[in-house]
Amino acid sequence: MIVSAVREFPSRYPGLVDHEVLLAPPDSLLYVSRWRSEQDLVGYAGEHWRDQPVVLPGEDEYLVAPLQVRHFTLASLS
């Protein structure tokens, strides 16, 4: 469900640079998204993007635990 729901996100959200869904069967997944800017992320997730995850329509019926949101910044390796 989540894979098909996010597949078209890059064309719908121009600030979305890259994204992927990582699966850990039987019941876990991680959605990772990379955004051009914080402003682009706010455009997608809203003003409370730091602490309120975006729940897609119908997604809550699949949840076995509340969604968690975490944010990271890229560290240069050079």
Domain definitions of the chain by residue range: 2-62
Distance CA 55, CA 44 (A): 12
The DSSP output letter for 64 is: S
Distance CA 59, CA 1 (A): 8
The pair of structure tokens assigned to 72 is 């990271």
The DSSP output letter for 60 is: G
Q: Tens digit of pLDDT for each residue in 51-69?
A: 999 999 988 888 888 899 9
Q: Tens digit of pLDDT for each residue in 19-54?
A: 999 999 988 899 999 999 999 999 999 999 999 999
Helix (H) or strand (E) holding 39: helix 38-45
Backbone angles phi, psi at 58, to 5 degrees: 85, -10
